């Protein structure tokens, strides 16, 4: 079968289980080239699991995933890494290397010989560093830069993989308001350049403002999918999160303001 060329990721009936807990249940969705997709949902609803299925870290129990038109089981880890890059939430502690060494590691899936990156790799890394305005930091150690800068460095390593799809788990967890917007603007610009962005976050307001489409997950199932204003409604939030909210819409997006929990709500699963 030859899938539609504009579809980068096709997920069909994916079910994932940890022991006897179902983390994902029959998830089906097509994701287009250059789309900015947000994943929201309560804790334990399967956001991270879905991301890890897409880049082959977790193997689903049932269902199929196509990356760039090819069945994921037929791809080796390096081939997956050339299509899909993850922006990690953080770096391992005490990783004492320079910014440029760190970003260069993103070229690993492309290394042909042994040991050294070639000229093309270096050109690519230079372009990424310039694009993210990191050139002045390239000789600094990772421990010596601010968390806003670090977030851009993490993004740079993922971009060095020259991916078609960028997976971002909690892009703004440790960032202040200004950097949050900066990161989201960057991701938006990348998606306009044809890179598909899939971001999961608890920050419903931020995602709804930038995303083209949003998936609302509830206990491993897609509860709603579509444009932010269609997915995030007082009714769906009430159903999934079990709280009453006030939703305000203005030209910049949707703002969800939590009001009170529903007294009769039975809980929504846990981590």
Partner 1 sequence: MLKSVIILQKSIISRKIRRLLVICTIGMPILSILFLLSLAIGPVDTSIPETINSLISVLNRGGKAKTLSEVIIYHIRLPRTLCVLAVGVGLSLSGAVMQAIVRNPLVDPYITGVSSGAALGACLAVFTGVTIMGTILYTIPLAAFLGALLAFLLTMSLAEAAGGSDVSYVLAGVVVNTAFSSLMTILIILGEEKLHGILFWLFGSFAYVSWRIVWIIIVPVFALSAVILLYAYELNVVLLGDEQALQLGLAVKQFKKMMIVITSLLTSICVSFNGIIGFLGIIVPHTARMLVGSDHRILLPSTIILGAIILIIADMIARILLKPIELPIGAITSLIGVPFFAYLLAKRGRMYAAGQ
* Residues at the contact surface with partner 1, assessed by CB under 8 A: 55, 57, 76-82, 85-86, 88, 91-97, 100-101, 104-106, 108-109, 111, 114-117, 119, 122, 125, 138, 161
Cβ closer to partner 1: 111 or 145? 111
Closest contact distance (angstroms) between CB of 73 and partner 1 is 14
Alpha carbon distance 41, 129 (integer Å): 33
Residues 6+ apart with CB under 8 A from 193: 34
By C-alpha distance, which of 22, 7, 87 is closest to 60?
22
Closest contact distance (angstroms) between CB of 228 and partner 1 is 28
Return the bridge partners of 163, or none.
none
Cβ closer to partner 1: 134 or 214? 134
CA atoms within 13 A on the CB side of 216: 20
CB of 256 within 8 A of CB of 245? yes
Closest contact distance (angstroms) between CB of 203 and partner 1 is 23
Cβ closer to partner 1: 101 or 182? 101
Closest contact distance (angstroms) between CB of 64 and partner 1 is 21
CB of 107 within 8 A of CB of 120? no
Element at 98 (helix H, strand E): none
Alpha carbon distance 256, 254 (integer Å): 7
Burial of 6 (0-12, 13-18, 19+ CB in 10 A): exposed
Closest contact distance (angstroms) between CB of 67 and partner 1 is 13
Cβ closer to partner 1: 86 or 191? 86
Structure tokens given for 17: 């289980």
Closest contact distance (angstroms) between CB of 134 and partner 1 is 13
Cβ closer to partner 1: 135 or 248? 135
Cβ closer to partner 1: 48 or 208? 48
Closest contact distance (angstroms) between CB of 269 and partner 1 is 23
Cβ closer to partner 1: 125 or 232? 125
Q: What is the 3-state secondary structure (H, E, C) of 169-234?
A: ECCCCCCCHHHHHHHHHHHHHHHHCCCEEEEECCCHHHHHHHCCEEEEEECCEEEEEECHHHHCCH
Burial of 167 (0-12, 13-18, 19+ CB in 10 A): buried
């Amino acid at each position: 079968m030859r899938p539609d060329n504009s579809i980068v990721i096709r997920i069909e009936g994916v079910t994932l289980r940890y022991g006897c807990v179902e983390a994902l249940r029959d998830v089906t969705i097509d994701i287009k080239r250059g789309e900015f997709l947000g994943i929201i949902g309560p804790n334990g609803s399967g956001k991270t699991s879905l991301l890890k299925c897409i880049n082959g870290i977790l193997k689903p129990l049932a269902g199929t995933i196509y990356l760039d038109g090819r069945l994921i089981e037929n791809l080796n880890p390096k081939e997956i890494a050339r299509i899909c890059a993850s922006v990690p939430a953080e770096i391992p502690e005490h990783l004492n290397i320079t910014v440029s060494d760190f970003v260069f590691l993103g070229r690993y899936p492309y290394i042909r010989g042994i040991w050294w990156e070639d000229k093309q790799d270096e050109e690519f890394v230079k372009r990424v560093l310039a694009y993210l305005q990191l050139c002045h930091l390239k000789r600094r150690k990772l421990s010596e830069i601010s968390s806003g800068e670090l977030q851009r460095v993490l993004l740079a390593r993922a971009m060095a993989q020259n991916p078609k799809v960028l997976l971002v788990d909690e892009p703004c967890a440790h960032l202040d308001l200004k950097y949050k917007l900066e990161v989201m603007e960057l991701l938006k610009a990348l998606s306009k350049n044809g890179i598909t962005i899939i971001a999961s976050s608890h920050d419903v307001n931020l995602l709804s403002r930038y995303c083209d489409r949003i998936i609302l997950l509830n206990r491993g199932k897609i509860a709603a999918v579509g444009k932010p204003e269609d997915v995030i409604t007082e009714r769906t939030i009430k159903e999934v999160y079990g709280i009453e909210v006030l939703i305000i819409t203005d030209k910049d997006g949707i703002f969800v303001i939590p009001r009170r929990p529903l007294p009769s709500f039975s809980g929504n699963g846990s981590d």
